[in-house]
Chain A
Amino acid sequence: MLVVFLACVFMLFVLAGRLVYLMLVESDYYQELADDLHERERSIKAARGRIIDSSGTVLATNRTVCTISVIHSQIKEPERVIEVLCKELGLSEETVRKRVEKRSSIERIKTNVEKEIGDRIRAYELEGVKVDEDFKRYYPYGSLASKVLGFTGSDNQGIIGLEVVYDEYLQGSNGTILTLTDARGVEIEGAPEERVEPVAGNDLYVSLDYNIQLYAQQAALKALEEKQATYVSILVMNPQNGEIYANVNVPEFNLNDPFALPATVDVSNLSEKEIQDLRNQMWRNPSVNDTSEPGSTFKVITAAAGLEKGVVTPEDTFSCPGFRVVDDRRIRCHKVGGHGSETFVQGVMNSCNPVFIDVGQRIGAEDFYSYFQQFGLMSKTGIDIPGEAGTIMHQLDNIGPVELATMSFGQSFQITPVQLATTISSIINGGKRVTPHFGVEIRNSDGELLRRLSYETREGIVSEETSATMRYMLEQVVAEGGGKKASIEGYRIGGKTATSQTLPRGTNKYISSFVGFAPAEDPQVLALCIIHNPQGIYYGGTIAAPVIRGLFENILPYLGIEQEKVLDENENKVD
């Protein structure tokens, strides 16, 4: 008998030992596993940093919205809950009933509900109905600079544009609330909450200027409408440091409803993938993401290369019979009868193709190619917009006389508009290759400077002398040549026009463009206008140049660029 009892005592001691092991030695291990099981993490969204323009105008901010959800086990009056939610949220009874009656721990009824509606629902004090406040990205100016700013997804992550590039600064870090739940996931009332406060994101200060952007957008919309174009892009930048003041690509889209396609698109018989393709198309920034043949605006680069190599001077004379025969091929000038005898300056003013074919031949394929590299055309500009397209260019070995000839007046290769604007900037600013950019500073929500963003500049792209000559010649283009329609009395403006065909050729679609800068002798602002597929007259000098003139008339005084009387001087120089 005693043996049985002692055996029992022994076994109880073994079990007690096992308990000591489990509850003291292994305690932390099981405790942690158990906590993981009991704790539910609810995240508190951090406020995303704002995007603020150079004048202090807020272009992107946050708005409080509400998420309405129901907790099945806490609902006392299901019929009333259904009725109220239907009424306030404008949902069908069927939808609401399904969610209210679903046996789940928490069921979301609707997200992104306006704060007022959320407050109203809260005021009913319905049991089991939860109104959670949340932040939603909000763009006060709707579609303004949509393809630059970009937008965010529901997870507070940038999807396109600056929102993507500066995501790490803007995002901040979400906070969490740890609550205890039972096995069904129902929160336990009165249990202590652990709270980690969210850290708001930092503000991004950009070089965009709300007013310039707005002027540019108005000008672009006017051209879009008048010329029935597919799209119109305007890029306004500071050629001295690469800061971009405006980048318009109309039609823009509504940043506050970025997934909605334009009303003109009939989506009823499109597949989900086709709809998404259309959205992606809508979100593209053609100034950065798309390449095309630059056409005659590229003659600026050919001229700079020729001057830099010393194979041409402004005074050199050329003769234009209306075409050049290159390798048995007859390449026409846009003026059918030809420009006759002309100096290089006049050749630039006339945008005369034979003149540039000659200059291209004097430079030679190999050197022309290395000037491409020297000017930075073969690499991306490094603009702070995602998805910048690279230059599409011949291999050096494939550049025969015909390719060389067409390249010299901006055909047979493709670059992005921002590449063109940047390269021209570096030619007219004294030879500094700047990095085009929007982002300037990162500040915290109190306005304290955290970081000044810096960008690469490369000196010595062209000599100061070449740069000065180019400024002079391009000023003549606007004063007396093909860019006359961009001239504004009292301002010295330089520029170059272009009319190119869309690729593939033969569709009779054109791209009219004009690049202008002011003041011509010391450029402070450069603007590029591209009109894609205009109807009717399609010459860049006729339709794109006036767009820039209209823009300059507005923004030059705004930028503090003084009017001056320079007309007399110009006249003296030209003839």
Chain B
Amino acid sequence: MTSQKTMEQRKRRRAAFDYSLFGIVLILMAFGLVMLYSTSSYNGQVKFADPAYYLKKQAFATALGVVAMVVVSRIDYRIWERYTYLAYGISLVLSTAVLFFGDEYNGSKRWLSLGPLSFQPAEFAKLAVILLLARTVTLRVKKMGKISQMFRVILVVLPIVGLVGTNNLSTAIIILGIGVILIFVASPKYLQFISMGALGVGFIAVFLSVESYRLERLAIWRNPEAYEKGYQTMQGLYAIGSGGMFGVGLGNSMQKLGFVPEAQNDMIFSIICEEWGLMGALCLLFLFLILIWRLLVVAQNVQDLFGSLVAVGIMGHILIQVILNVAVVTNTIPNTGITLPFISYGGTSVLFLLSEMGLALSVSREMKKEP
């Protein structure tokens, strides 16, 4: 009851930091750097005459991320509850700023530059949304069964979804997805979700038919060989198919030599398939599954609702990106640009992913003993 007692309890629980979660993150991170070097050395050599060009940038961001992860894991996550609106506000401002001052790359304005550093506000927005929703849902948890409340929660994230969605549809989908998962976890009423799902499908149908280029994407998805724009997809499939059971070996990919465009980005999983084969690809998926499972364990075993929802949000973030990325690379769904967490090139992404992991680790300290 006394605050001293809780403090004591907390101190004791600090020993219960989830090492398996931490270990998995480190393994994924290290593997990510190895694969990043493998896939980017050719592009680095061709474009910047430095095979380690991308590796250096990524390693810097990763180092920064590891520091952030360790620091955040040592801070009580409840502190962030106070700053959720601030964080959300900052993410809105940054996402607006990027529309006006952003650097354009491959036709999308996604980066804000500050001297030699560049920053992708959309990555920060994901973290901000996780915190914001966790808080919003915690405050209304008893009323969450009402459909009107569900829509109100969704309404809270719509501004950022709209802002990010103007030039980064995929991230908007991820943010929306995280929101849906959080609401669902707080109030698992299937009927409502089925109706919401139906609404979502209808929305997507309208969305697709409004702009013809999105319909074209569907056509490319169904028959990528017949379209010039299916080139990237086909190259990815060539890489995957070339892998076979055990792959061609680390560093021996042919497809990364300019055939798969920017192999270190969204399509990196196809090169992993080529170099490590089916076995390697399945192992990687299994690693992600363990990561997601550890996050689930954290979420399930934390008494505090806010902490639990933060863990669920992070889990949702990872699982949506992994599933969508692998689905896109294997041409299971139409092409959209989604990176593979911890593996794909992207400094902001890895920095905030590691911060999220720090947050999850911090939450994991609150775990009661596993049954």
Contact = CB atoms under 8 A, between A and B. Distances in A.
- Whether A associates with B in a native complex is yes
B285 A34 contact: no
B181 A4 contact: yes
Nearest to A25: B241
Nearest to A180: B254
Contact of A15 (B42, B238, B332): B332
Contact of A19 (B257, B273, B322): B273
Given A16-B282, A37-B259, A183-B258, A22 B292 contact: no
A263 interface: no
Contact of A1 (B240, B285, B312, B330): B312
Interface residues of A, number: 33
B184 A4 contact: yes
B263 to A, nearest CB: 10
Contact of A23 (B188, B245, B293, B299): B245
Chain A CB count within 10 A is highest, among B289, B293, B312, for: B289
B319 interface: yes
B244 interface: yes
B185 A1 contact: yes
B257 A22 contact: no
Interface in A3-39: 3-5, 8-9, 11-12, 14-16, 18-20, 22-24, 26-31, 33-34, 37-38
A573 interface: no
A14 B327 CA distance: 9
A3 B188 contact: yes
A188 interface: yes
Contacts of B244: 23-24, 27, 31
A3 B241 CA distance: 33
A16 B285 contact: yes
A1 B254 CA distance: 42
Chain A CB count within 10 A is highest, among B185, B241, B273, for: B241
A188 B241 contact: no
A182 interface: yes
Interface in B79-131: none
B220 to A, nearest CB: 17
B273 A34 contact: no
A336 interface: no
Contact of B257 (A2, A23, A31, A183): A183
Dominant secondary structure at the A interface = helix
A18 B281 CA distance: 12
A15 to B, nearest CB: 5
A34 B241 contact: yes
Given A4-B312, A34-B242, A38-B254, A23 B278 contact: yes
A525 B64 CA distance: 99
A11 B241 contact: no
A308 B290 CA distance: 107
A184 interface: yes
A574 to B, nearest CB: 89
B181 A27 contact: no
Given A16-B285, A34-B254, A38-B254, A22 B241 contact: yes
A28 B244 CA distance: 8
Contacts of A23: 240-241, 243-245, 273, 277-278, 281
Contact of B238 (A8, A34, A182): A34
B316 interface: yes
Interface string B232-247: 0010011111111100
B296 interface: yes
Nearest to A14: B332
A14 B285 CA distance: 12
B344 interface: no
A208 B238 CA distance: 58
Interface in A457-510: none
A33 B233 CA distance: 13
A385 to B, nearest CB: 50
Given A15-B323, A15-B327, A18-B330, A1 B299 contact: yes
Interface string A419-461: 0000000000000000000000000000000000000000000
B247 to A, nearest CB: 9
B240 A22 contact: yes
B228 to A, nearest CB: 15
A287 B312 CA distance: 95
Interface string B167-189: 00000000000000100110010
Contact of B300 (A1, A8, A183): A1
A180 to B, nearest CB: 7
A319 B240 CA distance: 99
Interface in B295-346: 296, 299-300, 312, 315-316, 319, 322-323, 326-327, 330, 332
B280 to A, nearest CB: 10
Contact of A33 (B181, B184, B238, B282): B238
B41 interface: no
A4 B185 CA distance: 8
Contacts of B258: 182-184
B268 to A, nearest CB: 15
B241 A12 contact: no
Interface string A46-75: 000000000000000000000000000000
Nearest to B278: A23
Contacts of A26: 241
B292 A8 contact: yes
A18 B327 CA distance: 9
Contacts of A3: 184, 188
B362 interface: no
Given A18-B330, A22-B330, A30 B185 contact: no
Q: Which 10 A/B pairs are nearest by Cβ-Cβ distance?
A: A30-B241, A183-B258, A182-B257, A34-B238, A23-B278, A8-B319, A5-B296, A15-B326, A18-B330, A34-B242
9 contacts: A8-B289, A12-B285, A19-B326, A27-B244, A30-B242, A31-B244, A34-B239, A183-B258, A184-B258
Given A5-B293, A30-B237, 19 more contacts: A1-B185, A1-B296, A1-B299, A1-B300, A4-B312, A12-B322, A15-B326, A15-B330, A22-B237, A22-B330, A24-B244, A27-B243, A27-B244, A30-B240, A30-B242, A31-B241, A34-B242, A34-B255, A38-B254
